[in-house]
Amino acid sequence: MAFEEKSGNLVGLGLEELENLALSLGQPRYRGRQIYHGIYARRVRAFASLTDLGGDLRDAIASQHAIAYPEIERQFASRDGAVRYLFRLADGNLIETVYMPEEDRTTLCLSSQVGCALECQFCFTALLGSKRNLTAGEIIGQVLAVAAAQNLEREARLNLVFMGMGEPLLNLPQVAKAIAILADPQGVGVSLRHIAVSTVGILPRIEELARAPMRPKLAISLNASNDEQRSALMPINKKYPLADLLRVCRAYPLRSWEHLMFEYVMLDGVNDSDADARRVAALLRDLRAKVNLIPYNSGPDLPFRAPPFERVVAFQKILLDHRIATFIRISRGQDISAACGQLSLEGVRMKSAKVPGHAGGGGQGLEVGQ
Ligand code: SAH
């Protein structure tokens, strides 16, 4: 199923796999490391640029393999500097990646799946339904393709957030493989402290992540202040209710520098009252937590709206008064339908009239590493 395997794409292969490839071609193992370094650290796209390999080996590899990134189908530049990329995968599926330049860092919001199975009521990606997991190569490919399109230097400081389309913890093997290469100093070289995985709270997968040797930061989409509200917004809450979620969060082994991040999408008149804020404060009381309040990014096909900004500020103040570090994350790229899912759904809609409509979603504007 992985298009890498079919088309012989090298992007997505780990060091050992590339070493084995070298050995299978009758070459010494270190050739694999040279290819690995070329693809991920030097971000080479043409075999001709792998000059350290020698011509014969280059030709032998090029005859059967490719260094392929997802193709840019469309891109939308926002007035605020964000650029939203709609990528076409080798099988024709569409995914989205958002580029958000900031003063000292650049944040990339990555997709982990095509569509999503979780049916969060406010999310536009949910309207696409569940299609398939991305491969590690398609995840890393988003980073390499945006870096190439934006001429990002190798030294450019990146934040990577898995807050685009899909639920990363339902694709943990490929997400973890991608992160291992993205965070490897000999690979793409993004520090693990600057990679965040956002989840609705798939509890067994959070426990698995807790034991992972290369562990990114964890962000939990809380989005509600009690079970009734959360189950209505996020059906997964019926399987993993708040008490269980918070128990797993309390047991999560935070590193000395780390906070658990909680995202809270603010929906006008739904989850934005003072009482909600007080309940959230009570839920998070005994956790080393940071909260990101995300005013909802609306679109015509879903009935939710962002609250007035004063409401968001009042909600933040209540959490701050309870000594919970709380940030307001203004969604970037509002003028380019920057909520994840929106462009893909439009892409699907262009081909078929059956899809219900305009999509959005996504946690753009979120930051890690602060
Ligand atoms: N499935 C994962 C990651 C993708 S969604 C998760 O749910 O965490 C990333 C974040 O974007 C989540 O916090 C989600 O609640 C939020 N989100 C979804 N749709 C949104 C929208 N239209 N506006 C603002 N945030 C949204």
Structural element, H or E, at residue 359:
none
123 among known catalytic residues: no
Residue 189 near residue 179 (C-beta atoms within 8 A): no
The pLDDT score that the predictor gives to residue 299 is: 87
Q: Which residues pair with 96 in a beta bridge?
A: 86
Whole-number Å distance between alpha carbons of 210 and 130: 26
Lowest mean pLDDT among 194-208, 326-340, 342-356: 342-356
Decide if pLDDT at 304 tops 50: yes
Per-residue pLDDT at 355 exceeds 60: no
359 CA distance to ligand 1 middle (Å):
12
Residue of the nearest CA to atom 3 in ligand 1?
A: 163
The dihedral built from the CA positions of residue 327, 328, 333 and 337, taken in this order, carries a sign that is positive
| Arithmetic mean of pLDDT, 303-328 | 97
With the most atoms of ligand 1 within 8 angstroms of its CB, the residue from 263, 268, 272 to mutate is 263
Q: Which of 112, 122, 345 to mutate to test the pocket of ligand 1 (most atoms within 8 A of CB)?
A: 122
Helix (H) or strand (E) holding 59: helix 55-64
At 354 the pLDDT is 30
Residue 246 pLDDT class (50, 70, 90 cuts): very high
> What b/e readout covers 223-260, taking b as 16+ CB neighbours within 10 angstroms?
bbbbeebbbebbebbeebbbeebbebbeebeeeeeebb
Ligand 1 contacts CB of residue 265 (under 6 A): yes
User: Does ligand 1 have an atom closer than 6 angstroms to the CB of 135?
Assistant: no
Whole-angstrom Cα distance, residue 159 to residue 99?
10
pLDDT at 332: 72
Q: What is the pLDDT of residue 330?
A: 81
- pLDDT higher than 50, residue 26: yes
Please pick, among 109, 116, 120, 340, the residue that the annotation labels catalytic. 340
Question: One of 96, 138, 167, 263 is an active-site residue; which one?
Answer: 96
Give the model's confidence band at 55: pLDDT under 50 very low, under 70 low, under 90 confident, else very high: confident
Residue among 175, 291, 294, 366 whose CB has most ligand 1 atoms within 8 A, to mutate: 294
Look at residue 340 and tell me whether its pLDDT is greater than 70. no
Q: Verify whether ligand 1 is closer than 6 Å to residue 272 (CB atom).
A: no
What is the structure's pLDDT at 337? 65
pLDDT at 368: 34
Contact 246, 287 (CB under 8 A): yes
Is the pLDDT score of 370 beyond 60? Answer: no
pLDDT bracket for residue 213 (50, 70, 90): confident
- pLDDT at residue 80, as a whole number: 87
* Predicted local distance difference test score (pLDDT) of residue 339: 63
pLDDT value at position 341? 65
Q: Reply yes or no on whether the pLDDT at 347 is more than 60.
A: no
Rounded to the nearest integer, the mean pLDDT of the chain is 90
With a 6 Å cutoff on the Cβ, whether 96 touches ligand 1 is: no
C-alpha to C-alpha distance for 349 and 280, rounded to whole angstroms: 38
Per-residue pLDDT tens digits for 141-158: 999 999 999 999 988 999
Say if residue 224's pLDDT is above 70: yes
Per-residue pLDDT, averaged over 96-112, amounts to 94
Structure confidence at residue 335 as a pLDDT band (50, 70, 90): confident
Is 340 catalytic? The answer is yes
Question: Is the Cβ–Cβ distance between 86 and 72 less than 8 Å?
Answer: yes
125 touches ligand 1 (CB under 6 Å): no
Question: Is the C-beta atom of 263 inside 6 A of ligand 1?
Answer: yes
pLDDT band at 338 (very low <50, low <70, confident <90, very high): low
Query: Which amino acid, residue 323?
Result: R
How far does residue 129's CA lie from ligand 1's centre (Å)? 15
| pLDDT of the residue at 301 | 83
